[in-house]
C-alpha cells in the first residue's frame, strides 16, 4: 500500500498551495485512493476519497474543500451532487463524460488506469468533469492523452517502470508531461512527490 506526500504548487508561478498526504492500494475490485490536504502551514483544507472499479471507472468519489462537498460516481456518464457549506442546498449534475478530474494527483492515476494506453498508441481524446479549487465547481473539459514511452529503472526494491504521458488541453492547446510509476505520480505540472514510504503498486 503506497503511502506518502505530494507537494502542490501553482504550475505557472510555482506558488506553494499545500500538501496532499495519501495512501492508495489496488484490490480485488479495483483501486482506492484516500488523502488529506493541508495548507503550506499545515492547516487542514480538505480530503479526497476515490474508488475505481476493475475497468478504471470511478465508482465512488468524495471531495471536501472550503466547506463544500462533492459525491459522485459513474452513472450514464458521470453523476454528482455538490453541497454548499451551509448544507441547505444540494445541486446535482450529470454529464456524458468518461471520468472526473481535479488538482489531486489521484485523478492522473485514475485516467491512466481508465485509458490503458500502450507506447505508440495514437492519442486518445477523453472528456472529464473537473472540480476546481477552492469551491469544487464542476467544469467539463476535453483532454488528449498519449503514452510517449515506458522505461524500467533499477531501484533498491527491484525494477521500477516509469510511464511518460503527454496530456493536451484541447480548448487551449497547452500540453504538459506527466510521469507515473504504478499508482504513484512522480512528477506533473503543479505536483511533486516529496515522500514515499512504500513502493508503488503495479497494476496487472
What is the total count of domains within the chain?
1
In a domain, 138, yes or no: yes
**pLDDT over threshold 90, residue 202:** no
Mean pLDDT over 36-56 rounds to 96
**If we measure between CA atoms, which residue out of 22, 28, 73 comes closest to residue 183?**
22
pTM for this entry: 0.95
Q: Is residue 26 part of a domain?
A: yes
Decide if 203 is inside a domain: no
pLDDT, tens only, 117-165:
999 899 999 999 999 988 999 999 999 999 999 999 887 777 889 999 9
**Average pLDDT over every residue of 15-34:** 93
Q: 175 is written with which cell numbers? A: 500540453
Indicate whether 204 belongs to any domain: no
Give mean pLDDT, residues 34-58: 96
| Domain contains 139 | yes
Residue 119, domain extent:
3-198
Count of beta carbons in the 10 Å neighbourhood of residue 181: 22
Give the 3-state secondary structure of the chain. CCEEEEEEECCCCCCEEEEEEEEEEEECCEEEEEEEEECCCCCEEEEEEEEECCCCCEEEEEEEECCEEEEEEECCCEEEEEECCCCCCEEEEEECCCEEECCCCHHHHHHHHHHCCCCCCCCEEEEEEEEECCCCEEEEEEEEEEEEEEEEEEECCEEEEEEEEEEEECCCCCEEEEEEECCEEEEECCEEEEEECCCCCCCC
Tell me the pLDDT tens digit for each residue of 66-78.
999 999 999 989 9
Q: How confident is the model at residue 86 (pLDDT cuts 50, 70, 90)?
A: confident
Amino acid at each position: 500500500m503506497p503511502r506518502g506526500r505530494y507537494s502542490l504548487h501553482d504550475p505557472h508561478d510555482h506558488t506553494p498551495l499545500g500538501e496532499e498526504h495519501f495512501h492508495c492500494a489496488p484490490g480485488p475490485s479495483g483501486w482506492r485512493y484516500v488523502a488529506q490536504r493541508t495548507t503550506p502551514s499545515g492547516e487542514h483544507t480538505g480530503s479526497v476519497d476515490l474508488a475505481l472499479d476493475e475497468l478504471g471507472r470511478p465508482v465512488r468519489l468524495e471531495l471536501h474543500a472550503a466547506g463544500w462537498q462533492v459525491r459522485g460516481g459513474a452513472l450514464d456518464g458521470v453523476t454528482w451532487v455538490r453541497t454548499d457549506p451551509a448544507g441547505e442546498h444540494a445541486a446535482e449534475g450529470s454529464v456524458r463524460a468518461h471520468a472526473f478530474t481535479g488538482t489531486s494527483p489521484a485523478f492522473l492515476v485514475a485516467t491512466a488506469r481508465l485509458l490503458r494506453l500502450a507506447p505508440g498508441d495514437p492519442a486518445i481524446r477523453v472528456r472529464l468533469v473537473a472540480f476546481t479549487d477552492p469551491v469544487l465547481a464542476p467544469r467539463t473539459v476535453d483532454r488528449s492523452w498519449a503514452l510517449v514511452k515506458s522505461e524500467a529503472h533499477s531501484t533498491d526494491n527491484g525494477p521500477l517502470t516509469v510511464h511518460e504521458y503527454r496530456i493536451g488541453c484541447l480548448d487551449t492547446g497547452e500540453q504538459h508531461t506527466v510521469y507515473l510509476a504504478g499508482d504513484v505520480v512522480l512528477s506533473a505540472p503543479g505536483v511533486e512527490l516529496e515522500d514515499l514510504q512504500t513502493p508503488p503498486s503495479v497494476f496487472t
